[in-house]
Amino acid sequence: MDIAEILSSIKTKVDENSTEENIRLAFSCMDLTSLNSTDTVTNIKSFTEKVNSLPQKFPGVSPVAAICIYPNMVETVKKTLAERKVRIASVAGGFPSSMTFLDVKIQEIIMAVKNGADEIDIVMPLWAFLDHNKTVCRKEISDIKKSIGTVPLKVILETGALKTSENISAASMLAMDSGADFIKTSTGKVSPAATPEAAIVMCQSIKKYYLKTGRKVGFKAAGGISTTTDAILYLTILKDILGKEWMTPDLFRIGASHLGNKLLSSILKKEVVYF
């Protein structure tokens, strides 16, 4: 089947997968994100305090997987975060364009980890990939991964800029071969951001890579995911292609800023405006 046929088949399963259990799972797989040029220490601290207060405010709702912020805000989150199950994810390495020197990227990433980042999200150097210079891409991702060791590395492909399934598949395999622990759709700064079509190609690539190597790589959908239906669609894609083993925060993430309220509203069956 081609991608359109696969997507059509998957969409028929969204309703049956829209269970409370899966909505709660989607919430627990969220990288709750604030990546605004207007972010301040004050509002990031407040943002983090809301994550701390979730268990008291919404008993029985699992915490989100991570808080995702810019590198200069990592220390603020580290000092404020009391919910130990929540990880600190930092975009770094010249995010969102990746248009700077590799040494600068590595230094920024190392600083983010020293300040408390548990995970790092980088952008694959599109300027090299689109110029057919895969050697540069491999070296950048590999060198960055070596610089942070066991810290999970998410590599953003910026699928909207890659445009074709062939490019998305090639970028997925390149990132995984170079050491990516997750492959991620988008920064959210380029249109189109996440699309179901790109997610299908990426999950197919993860499956191919796993069958080849035995190493499980995670999938992160990010960019424009703002409704419960959106979240369940991506969860259904993951389940259909990769299976239930991938339905865990260790292997599935959704990067979003506004989705949390929609998922909480669906779980509690009333309108919630919390984040």
Query: Catalytic residue positions?
Result: 121, 184, 220
Q: Distance between CA 157 and CA 64 in Å, rounded?
A: 23
Between strands 153-156 and 119-123, the pairing is parallel
Buried b (16+ CB within 10 A) or exposed e, 189-206: ebeebbbbbbbbbbbbbb
- Contacts with 244 (C-beta within 8 Å, 6 or more apart), sequence order: none
96 cis-preceded (ω within 30 degrees of 0)? yes
Give the amino acid at 183: I
Both tokens assigned to 53: 């207060």
What SS3 class is residue 46? helix
Give the amino acid at 87: R
**CB-count burial class (<10 Å; 0-12, 13-18, 19+) for 16:** exposed
CB of 22 closer than 8 Å to CB of 245: no
DSSP state of 73: G
